[in-house]
Chains A and B, each alone.
Chain A
Amino acid sequence: MSEHAQILPGTLDLLILKAVSLGPLYGYGILLRIEQISHGALLIEQGALYPALFRLVRQGLLKAHWDTSENNRRTKFYELTIAGRKRLRQEEDGWNRLVTAIASALKAQPEEI
Chain B
Amino acid sequence: MRIFSSLRAVVSALFHRTQIDKEVEEELRAHIQDRASDLEHSGVPRAEAERRAKLEFGGYQKFKEECREAQGTHFLETFIQDLRFGLRMLRKSPGFTAIAVLTLALGIGANTAIFTMMNGLMLHTLPVRDPGQLVELLHHYPDEPEPGFNGFSWDAYQTMRDGNHVFSDLIVGTMNSFTVRGDKLQPQSVFGGGVGETFFQGLGVKAAAGRLIGPEDVHMGYHAPVAVVSWSLWKSRFDLDPGIIGKNIVIDDAPVTIIGVAQRGFYGLSHEAQQDIWLPISLGPSPGWGFGLLARLKPGVSIEQARAEMAVLFQTVVNAPDAGPFVRGMKLRIEPAGNGVTTPLSQMLSTPLTVLMATVGLLLLLACANLAGLLLARGVSRQHEMAVRACLGAPRARLLRQTLTESLLLSLVGCAVGTFVAYFAAHALIRVFASGRFIMGLPVHFEALTNPDAHVLLFTLAIALLTGLLCGAAPAMSASKTEPAFALQQASRIGESKSRRLFGKGLVASQVALSLVLMSSAGLFVEYLSHLRNLNLGFERNNLLLVTLKFPQSDDNDAQFSRLSQELVMRLDAIPGVRSATFSAMSPMEGPGASSFAFAEDHPEKRTQASINYVAPDYFETYGTPFLAGRDFSARDQAGSSVAIINEAAARDCFGTENPVGRHITLSHVTLTKGDKTYEVVGVVGDAKYNDLQQPAPPTIYADLLQQGFIGSQLAIRTRIDPGGIASAVRQTEAAVLKAVPIVRIMTMNEQIDSSIVPQRLIAMLSAGFGALGALLAVIGLYGLLAYTVAWRTHEIGVRMALGAAGTDIVRIVLRDALWMVCAGLAIGAPLAFWGKRVAGSLIPDLPVASPLPIVVAAAIMIAVGLIAAYLPARRAMRVDPMVALRYE
Contacts and interface: CB of A to CB of B under 8 A. Distances in A.
A28 B53 CA distance: 11
Interface string B9-27: 0000000000000011011
Interface string B708-719: 000000000000
A96 B35 CA distance: 32
Nearest to B65: A51
A95 interface: no
B69 A74 contact: no
Nearest to B60: A47
A49 to B, nearest CB: 8
B143 interface: no
Contacts of A11: none
B887 interface: no
Nearest to A70: B34
A82 to B, nearest CB: 21
A39 to B, nearest CB: 18
B30 A54 contact: no
A47 B63 contact: yes
Given A46-B35, A69-B34, A76 B67 contact: no
A71 B72 contact: no
B66 interface: yes
Given A28-B34, A73-B30, A45 B58 contact: yes
A28 B70 contact: no
B33 A58 contact: no
A54 B63 CA distance: 11
Nearest to A50: B67
B26 A74 contact: yes
B58 A46 contact: yes
Nearest to B68: A54
Contact of B30 (A31, A52, A69): A69
Given A55-B70, A76-B27, A48 B34 contact: no
Nearest to A45: B58
A48 B63 CA distance: 7
Interface residues of B, number: 24
Most buried by A among B31, B62, B69, B71: B31
Most buried by B among A51, A52, A55, A69: A51
Contacts of A58: 70-72
Given A58-B70, A73-B33, A73-B34, A47 B26 contact: no
Interface in B24-78: 24, 26-28, 30-31, 33-35, 37, 56-60, 62-63, 66-67, 69-72
A26 B231 CA distance: 70
Contacts of A31: 31
A54 B31 contact: no
A27 B66 contact: no
B383 to A, nearest CB: 29
Contact of B28 (A50, A52, A57, A74): A50
B34 A51 contact: no
Contacts of B35: 28, 46
Contact of A47 (B28, B30, B34): B28
Given A45-B58, A46-B35, A51 B67 contact: yes
A54 B67 contact: yes
Contacts of B69: 51
Contact of A75 (B27, B37, B56, B72): B27
Contact of B57 (A46, A52, A57, A74): A46
Nearest to B30: A75
A27 B30 contact: yes
B27 A47 contact: no
A73 B28 CA distance: 12
A58 B348 CA distance: 63
Nearest to A29: B34
A46 B56 contact: yes
B172 to A, nearest CB: 71
Interface in A31-88: 31, 45-48, 50-52, 54-55, 57-58, 69, 71, 73-76
A28 B31 contact: yes
Given A27-B30, A73-B34, A47 B72 contact: no
Contacts of B62: 47
A69 B57 CA distance: 19
A60 to B, nearest CB: 12
A73 B33 CA distance: 9
A23 B62 CA distance: 29
Interface of B: 23-24, 26-28, 30-31, 33-35, 37, 56-60, 62-63, 66-67, 69-72
5 contacts: A27-B30, A47-B59, A51-B70, A73-B30, A74-B30
Interface of A: 26-28, 31, 45-48, 50-52, 54-55, 57-58, 69, 71, 73-76
Which 7 residue pairs are nearest across A and B when measured between Cβ atoms? A51-B66, A47-B63, A54-B70, A47-B58, A75-B30, A28-B34, A55-B70
Given A47-B59, A47-B60, A73-B30, 11 more contacts: A27-B31, A46-B31, A46-B56, A47-B58, A47-B63, A50-B63, A51-B66, A71-B33, A73-B33, A75-B26, A75-B27
